[in-house]
Amino acid sequence: MPPIRVLIVDDSVVIRKILSEELASDSAIEIAGLASSGALALAKIPQVSPDILTLDIEMPGMDGLQTLKEIRKLYPKIPVIMFSTLTERGAAATLEALALGASDYATKPSNTDSSAGAREHVRRELIPKIKSLGAVRTAQQPQLAVKASSVSRSQRAKIDIVAIGTSTGGPNALAQVLPGFPADFPVPVVIVQHMPPLFTRLLAARLDTLSPLSVREGEAGQKLKPGQAWIAPGGYHMTLARKGNEVALELNQEPPENSCRPAVDVLFRSVAATHGAHVLAVVLTGMGADGLRGSRFIREAGGEVFVQDEASSVVWGMPGSVAGAGQADEIYPLDRIAKEVVQRVNADWRATPPLRAVPARG
- What are the residue numbers of the active site? 167, 194, 290
**Cβ atoms 173, 334 nearer than 8 A:** yes
Residue 350 has a CB neighbour count (10 Å cut-off) of 8
Distance between CA atoms of residues 32 and 4, nearest Å: 9
The number of angstroms, rounded, from the C-alpha of 49 to the middle of its chain's C-alpha atoms is: 28
Distance between CA atoms of residues 246 and 240, nearest Å: 10
Give the 3-state DSSP-derived string for 35-87, with helices as H, strands as E and coil as C: ECCHHHHHHHHHHHCCCEEEEECCCCCCCHHHHHHHHHHHCCCCCEEEEECCC
Distance between CA atoms of residues 169 and 351, nearest Å: 36
Q: Which residues contact 97 (CB under 8 A, 6 or more apart)?
A: 55, 57, 64, 65, 68, 82, 84, 105
Q: Supply angle C-alpha 29, 30, 35, rounded to 5.
A: 120
Q: How far apart are the first and last CA of the chain?
A: 45
Nearest-10 Cα torsion for 190, 194, 199, 200: 10
Query: Exposure pattern of 44-75 as b/e (b: 16+ CB <10 Å)?
Result: bbeeeebbbbbbbbbbeebbbbebbeebeeee
